[in-house]
Amino acid sequence: MLQRQVDQDDVTLEEQVVAVQHGDENARHHLLSSYQPFIATAVSKVCKRYIDTKQDDEFSIGLMAFNEALDSYSKDKGSSFLTFARLVISRKVIDYIRKESNHFGTVSLDQSEEDEDQSPTDWKLSHAAKQAFEQDQDAWYRQIEIEEYNQKLKEYKLSFSELATISPKHHDAKESAKEVARVVYHNDEIREYVLTKKRLPIKKVEPLVSVSKKTIERNRKYILAIFILLTEDFMYLKDYVQGVSE
């Protein structure tokens, strides 16, 4: 039954994970299959090299870690499932590398011992294949982040498609709005209010910032959109929206 639900746009990843935790093995199989590119990317970042999903033991460790994350994830931990899964994968792969060998980090995408025995043509083909893999992984990961971000925006009655419309047109106004979002994020009381109520307490924010109440109200949606970026681990989107950092 869940396999039919998985194809629906309004079913979030977290809801699918809950279904797995309630015994839906079809959902587990679907997620383990669909998120292999995410797993390979997470493992590759730890190993600092290209990961072959069919040959590298580290990928198998990452796959088992992702499966473990499906069972142990809880929304109460305060992070998205992908953030939690990436952390579990990183820890498991690092533990595996420490136990198995001392060559952690010695093989890179740019050079390996095998490369020395390759002809220039073979090396170029191999290097091009690895670069294509990286580009595919990055594109896939960006798309996953956009989908996750859009789900978060919906909680605040916002959408990814309207970001260009709600973004302040002038650079100074945009930077001021980002600064307001940082103030909201770093204030424990206000941050908790926004996370719970899904709205911005303008009267509480106004005394803490250098912009007017009217300006805060005008840029309210954009401030909330930036706030969400700060509270979630959206690496690619933070780079896309320049200047968004804690």
* Separation between Cα atoms, residue 241 and residue 90, nearest integer Å: 26
- Whole-angstrom Cα distance, residue 184 to residue 205? 7
Would you give the DSSP letter of residue 210? S
Q: How confident is the model at residue 144 (pLDDT cuts 50, 70, 90)?
A: low
The C-alpha atoms of residue 1 and residue 52 are separated, in whole angstroms, by 33
Nearest of 21, 106, 27 to residue 68 by alpha carbon: 21
Residue of higher predicted confidence among 208 and 53: 208
Domains, the chain, ordered by start: 1-109 (1.10.1740), 160-240 (no CATH)
Distances, alpha carbon 107 to alpha carbons 86, 91, 97, in Å? 21, 19, 13
Average per-residue pLDDT in the chain? 80
Region of 48 on the Ramachandran plot (φ > 0 left; ψ -120 to 50 alpha; else beta): left
Q: Considering only CA atoms, which of 243, 239, 225 is closest in space to residue 163? A: 225
- For 88-107, what is each residue's pLDDT tens digit? 898 888 888 878 754 444 44
Does pLDDT of 74 surpass 90? no
User: Is 90 exceeded by the pLDDT of residue 64?
Assistant: yes
Name the pLDDT band for 156 (thresholds 50, 70, 90).
very high
